[in-house]
Amino acid sequence: MSATIIDGKAYAAGLRTRIAEAVADMARQGATPGLAVVIVGEDPASQIYVKNKARQTVEVGMRSFEHVLPASTSEAELLGLVAQLNADPAVDGILVQLPLPKQIDAQKVIEAIDPAKDVDGFHPVNAGKLMTGVPGFVSCTPLGCLLLIQSVRKDIAGLDAVVIGRSNIVGKPMAQLLIGQSCTVTVAHSKTRDLPEVCRRADILVAAVGRPEMVRGDWVKPGAIVIDVGINRVPNLAAGEGKTRVVGDVAYAEAAERASAITPVPGGVGPMTIACLLRNTLQAACIRRGLPMPAVDFAPAA
C-alpha cells in the first residue's frame, strides 16, 4: 500500500490565498491587520520560522512589526515591550518567539500578552477556552495538524488518536482538539511504557517529540493517518562537512509503507503553522474591529 502524501505546503498556500482576499476586503474598509513578532536572542531553530513568517505576513497584505532584541534583554524590558504592543491599536496579534533566554520567565511573558491579541493561543485564557470548548485562539501548530487530518478524512469521530508529546504549545492543545472531534485520545510522553505498542493502536498518530525519526514504520497501524510535527536539524552527510538537513520525528519512508496518509518534513505541518498564525491574526483583527470573520478554511475531505 502506498500512502497519500499530505501536501501541507500546498494546503497552506491555498489558505494564505483566501486570507489575502479577506485582508484585501478589510483594506477596502480602511482596516489592515497587523502582526507583531518579538524575537529575543538568536535561537537557530527559530530563525527559519521567523524569516518565512515575516515574508508571508506581508504577502497576504498584513502589516508586520518585527522586534529583534539582544539575548541579554531583561524580563522587565520584554514585559515593557509587550505592554506597548498591547496598547498599540495597529497591532492585532502578538507573537513572542519561544524559547526565550534563561533570565526571562516565559510563562510570565505569555501571561502579559492581551488574550485578545494572543494569536499563538498560549495564554491561559485561550488554553482554558480550548479545554472548555469556548471559541478563542487555538495554538497554530495543532490547528494546522487538525486541518491536514481533515483534508484526508472528514469524520474522525470514534477513531483512536495517539499524540506523542505533552507540551503546552503542541501536544496538549492537539489532544484537546482531537477530543473536540470525538476521537479517543491517548497522550504519550517520555514516561510512557511501551510506546511502540501504544502507537500501534492509533488510527491517527501525531508525533510532536523533537527526536529525529524516532517513530519507526512498525509502530504505525496499517491504514493510519500519520502527522509529523518534528523539526529536527541533523547532519547531511551526503552534502558534505557541516551541512544539515531537516527531518521529522517519524522515519518517513518506513511509515509511508503502512500509513494511509502521511505528512512530509519539510512541507507538511511547518507551513500550516504559519498559515494558521495569519488566520488567527485575521480573526483577531476582525474581532477587535467588530467585523465578521470571513470563511477561509477549506471544507474537509469527503
Ligand X SMILES: NC(=O)C1=CN([C@@H]2O[C@H](COP(=O)(O)OP(=O)(O)OC[C@H]3O[C@@H](n4cnc5c(N)ncnc54)[C@H](OP(=O)(O)O)[C@@H]3O)[C@@H](O)[C@H]2O)C=CC1
Ligand Y SMILES: Nc1nc(=O)c2c([nH]1)NC[C@@H]1CN(c3ccc(C(=O)N[C@@H](CCC(=O)O)C(=O)O)cc3)C=[N+]21
Alpha carbon distance 234, 23 (integer Å)? 38
Alpha carbon distance 281, 196 (integer Å)? 38
**46 contact choice in ligand Y, ligand X, none (CB below 5 to 8 Å, kind-dependent):** ligand Y
Residues 227-286 that bind ligand X (CB under 6 A): 229-232, 269-270, 273
Q: Does 94 bind ligand Y (CB under 6 A)?
A: no
Alpha carbon distance 141, 157 (integer Å)? 21
**48 contact choice in ligand X, ligand Y, none (CB below 5 to 8 Å, kind-dependent):** ligand Y
Q: Does 49 bind ligand Y (CB under 6 A)?
A: yes
Q: Which listed residue (189, 216, 233, 243) binds ligand X by CB under 6 A?
A: 189
Alpha carbon distance 153, 145 (integer Å)? 12
Task: State the catalytic residue, choosing from 97, 172, 176, 283.
Answer: 97
Alpha carbon distance 161, 227 (integer Å)? 11
How many residues touch ligand Y under the rule CB under 6 A: the total is 20
Computed on alpha carbons and rounded to an integer, the radius of gyration of the chain in Å comes to: 19
Residues 251-280 that bind ligand Y (CB under 6 A): 265-267, 270-271, 273-274
Q: At what angle do helices 171-180 and 140-152 cross, to 10 degrees?
A: 40
The CA angle 127-133-138, to the nearest 5 degrees, is 40
Q: Does 211 bind ligand X (CB under 6 A)?
A: yes
Nearest distance from residue 106's CB to ligand Y, in Å?
Answer: 9
Half-sphere exposure in the Cβ direction for 184 (13 Å, CA):
7
Q: Does 38 bind ligand X (CB under 6 A)?
A: no
Nearer to ligand Y, 54 or 291 (CB): 54
Q: Which listed residue (6, 19, 130, 195) binds ligand X by CB under 6 A?
A: 195
Alpha carbon distance 71, 74 (integer Å)? 9
**95 contact choice in ligand X, ligand Y, none (CB below 5 to 8 Å, kind-dependent):** ligand Y
Alpha carbon distance 89, 96 (integer Å)? 18
Nearer to ligand Y, 266 or 300 (CB): 266
Count the Cβ atoms, other than its own, within 10 Å of residue 196: 11
120 catalytic, yes or no?
Answer: yes
How many residues touch ligand X under the rule CB under 6 A: the total is 25
Binding positions: 165-167, 231
What does the binding site for ligand Y look like in residue numbers (CB under 6 A)? 46, 48-49, 52, 95-98, 120, 140-141, 231, 246, 265-267, 270-271, 273-274
